[in-house]
Amino acid sequence: MISNAIPDLITASACARGLSALGVTALSVRALGLDAESLDLESPEALAALIRRAASFATPCSPRELRGIVLQSLRGLSEVGQDSQEALHAPIDQMIEALTSYGDLIELPVAESDDGVAARTLYLAPPTYVCVDDVLFLLGGVLDGGEPVPSNLRDAVAYRSHSRRIHGGNTSENAKQLHALGWVELRYDLWLPAPSQETPEQLVASANAALAANTTAGEVPGLTVLDPKSPTTYYRGRWADPVRKTGRFVARREQRYGADLWSYVELVSGAVSHLVDFPLTKKTVMMRPCDEAWHLQLAIDALAGQRQQYRRRPGPPSGVILVDFFSPVPFWARRRWDVLGERIASHGSLFAYRFPANVFADVERTLQGDLWLAERLAL
């Protein structure tokens, strides 16, 4: 008979046996190194681990390919995807984005082999740890689903949404143990780069200067722009057709293969007069075009007097503050929040974080000082 019991990985090895969906979920969650009693495969922790594992086989690959592999693994197991697997696209894509921001996955430009078309490609970061105070943040993984964490430290790993960390114990000793198994240390300041010190005026001015140097005439196929006049609380709704628009816009444009490119364009009655693709600067290899574009949009909105917004909510539990975000932010801000808090399921927002109340002042400094966000009062 098909068993609902949580199977034991080893005793199950003698012969083939049937499993229920519950049994598969439990076995998979356990094989991912997580607690099968409290998590299912669609929980953020398990989904993140599933994506990391898929990446250990498939990378380098595109985000779409990675999503396809995870979708296949969840087929027949998902509550959400029971009727249509398309319902799973958004949570998987958001988790891939979270893992990329965090540093588990690295998104890099790679020129396609023979046709010269630039594509963005995902890599699984090598096993890496970052020491922040007395906490070790773990990034990346090894090929082919291997378990790189030393066996005696596995129980000490805390999984919070997409992040993994070891706190408590002897941090220095733990770091040495990781190092012995091939983990590399990434310096704190490289993982958590300081935010740009530019004002919105400076950021927009330098982008405009780069744009002015790149005259373009004619039609740009598949162009959509972020409309600064649209409400900042519904990100997807801000993307608009360029028809009859005039001004400078953060934009995306289709390319024959791979994901759309991020661009900064100047339009005159819907016609493109200038165009430059992100990245405009080579600040860091980790800076993705989207990070730079989102940062610029934050500055554009701030200058237009229409700052992007966040919404603060009290817990439960008490002593924590929940924050909703309505637009994407650069990776360095999300990493900072991964350290200070943890990502939680969002409701009526693009993504959300939970922070201990005692660190919120620090979070707010980034929100308002570095990202020029304004607080939206809860309804």
Partner 1 sequence: MNEPQSTNGDDGHPTLVTSLARLQGWQTRLDDHFARLAMIRREADWPVFALEHGLSVDDRNSLLRDVRECADSGPQHDVPLPWVVYAAEVGYEYSGYEYWQTFETKTPGWQLQWRERIRSNFVSFATTYHGAEPAGNWARQFSIIAWPIAHGILPRDLQRQLAELLYEGSTSFSAETFSSAEALGLHLQARSSGYSSRFRNFAENATLLGQIALALLLQDTADAHGGSGGAILHTNTLERIVADLNRERDARQWLAEARSAAHSATRFHIRGLSRITLRRRLADTTPRRDRSQEGSDSFDAVPKPHFLLREEVQDRWQVRLQFPNLAHLAAQSPRSRDILMRRQGKIAGATTPILATSRIVLDAAPTVTLSTWPKPQTQLLAFDGAPPELNALLSASFRVAPGDRWLFAIGLDGKAREITTRVLRAGASYLLLQTTHFGNPPAGLGLSVVYVACAGVYALRIDVPKQVSDVLTDVLSNLELVVAQTIEVWPAGLPVSVWNGEGQLEGVTGQPIILGIGTDHRLTRLEVVIDDIPQPDIETGEMPPGGPIFLQLPLLSLGPHDISIAASTGEAGQESIDGKLGGQGATPGLRGKLSCIIREPRTIAAGQGGALSFAILPTSPSLEDVWEGRIEIHVAAPGIESIRGRVVLRGLEGQELFNRSISLPSPCNTDTWNDRFAEVRKAASSKYDDAQVCAFEFDAGALGRRQITAERDFTPLRWAVRDNGRRVILIDSQGCVDLNVSQILCATPLVEEQIDPSDALNGIVVPDGGALIVARSGRLGASTVVVPPQRVTSLDALSGARAEVLKPSRNSSAILALARKTALWERARLAGSWLAEARRGTVVGALISALIGTIAGERWMDAEELLRDEPPAAQELMHKRVAIRPDERAIAGILARRIESSLGGSVAQADQVFLDAIVPFVHEVHLDAIAPYALRLASSPSEARALVDKVTKGSNYDEHEKELIDDLLLHPVIIRAARYFIVATRALVSRQGREYDSMPWAG
Q: Which of 6, 33, 43, 68 binds partner 1 (CB under 8 A)?
A: 68
> If we measure between CA atoms, which residue out of 202, 135, 191, 157 comes closest to residue 334?
191
379: contact with partner 1 by CB under 8 A: no
Cis before residue 317, ω within 30 degrees of 0? yes
195 binds partner 1 (CB under 8 A): no
State the amino acid at position 199 in one-letter form.
Answer: T
Residue 122: φ, ψ to 5°: -95, 140
300-307, long-range: CB within 8 Å, 24+ apart, which pairs?
Answer: 300/200, 300/204, 300/228, 300/248, 300/250, 301/228, 301/232, 301/372, 302/200, 302/372, 303/200, 303/201, 303/204, 304/228, 306/228, 306/229, 306/232, 307/232, 307/372, 307/373, 307/374
> How near is the Cβ of 59 to partner 1 at its closest, in Å?
9
Of 123, 188, 239, 360, the one binding partner 1 (CB under 8 A) is 123
Binding residues with partner 1: total (CB under 8 A): 80
Task: Write down the least CB distance from residue 349 to partner 1, Å.
Answer: 28
Give, as ranges, the residues between 324 and 353 that touch partner 1 (CB under 8 A). none
CA distance 58 to 66: 7
Q: Which of 5, 90, 143, 345 contacts partner 1 by CB under 8 A?
A: 143
Hey, which residues between 85 and 114 contact partner 1 (CB under 8 A)?
A: 103, 106, 108-110, 113-114
Half-sphere exposure of 286 (CA within 13 A, CB side): 18
Using CB under 8 A, pick the residue from 83, 115, 133, 189 that binds partner 1: 115
Q: Is-contact 49 73, C-beta < 8 A?
A: no
Q: Please list every residue from 261 through 320 that binds partner 1, using CB under 8 A.
A: 285-286
The interface region with partner 1, picked from 15-23, 230-238, 292-300, 357-365 by CB under 8 A, is 15-23
If you ran DSSP here, which 8-state letter would residue 368 be given? Answer: I
Asked if 259 is part of the footprint of partner 1 (rule: CB under 8 A), the reply reads: no
Is 163 a binder of partner 1 (CB under 8 A)? no
Task: Transcribe 106-120 into DSSP letters.
Answer: EEEEEE-TTT--EEE
Placement of tokens 């595109």 in the chain: 62
Cβ distance to partner 1 smaller for residue 37 or 115: 115
- Options 126, 195, 270, 356; binder of partner 1; rule CB under 8 A: 126
Whose Cβ is closer to partner 1: residue 38's or residue 151's? 151
Q: Is 250 in the site for partner 1 (CB under 8 A)?
A: no
Q: Which stretch binds partner 1 (CB under 8 A): 75-83, 207-215, 329-337, 351-359?
A: 75-83
- Contact flag: residue 180 with partner 1 (CB under 8 A): yes
Residue 344 CB, shortest distance to partner 1, in Å, is 25
Distance CA 334, CA 347 (A): 18
| Binding of residue 78 to partner 1 (CB under 8 A) | no
- How near is the Cβ of 179 to partner 1 at its closest, in Å? 8
Q: CA 217, 283, 105: angle at the middle one, nearest 5?
A: 100
Q: Which stretch binds partner 1 (CB under 8 A): 6-14, 260-268, 301-309, 334-342?
A: 6-14
How far from the centroid of its chain's Cα atoms is residue 45's Cα? 14
Examine residue 20 and tell whether it contacts partner 1 (CB under 8 A).
yes
> Among residues 191, 238, 225, 157, which one has the least CA distance to residue 336?
191
Q: Is 256 in the site for partner 1 (CB under 8 A)?
A: yes
Which one among 87, 146, 199, 229 touches partner 1, defined by CB under 8 A? 146
- Site residues (CB under 8 A) for partner 1, limited to 30-59: 31-32, 41, 50, 53-54, 57-58
Q: How far is the CB of 335 from partner 1 (least distance, A)?
A: 12
Under 8 Å between Cβ of 47 and 41 = yes
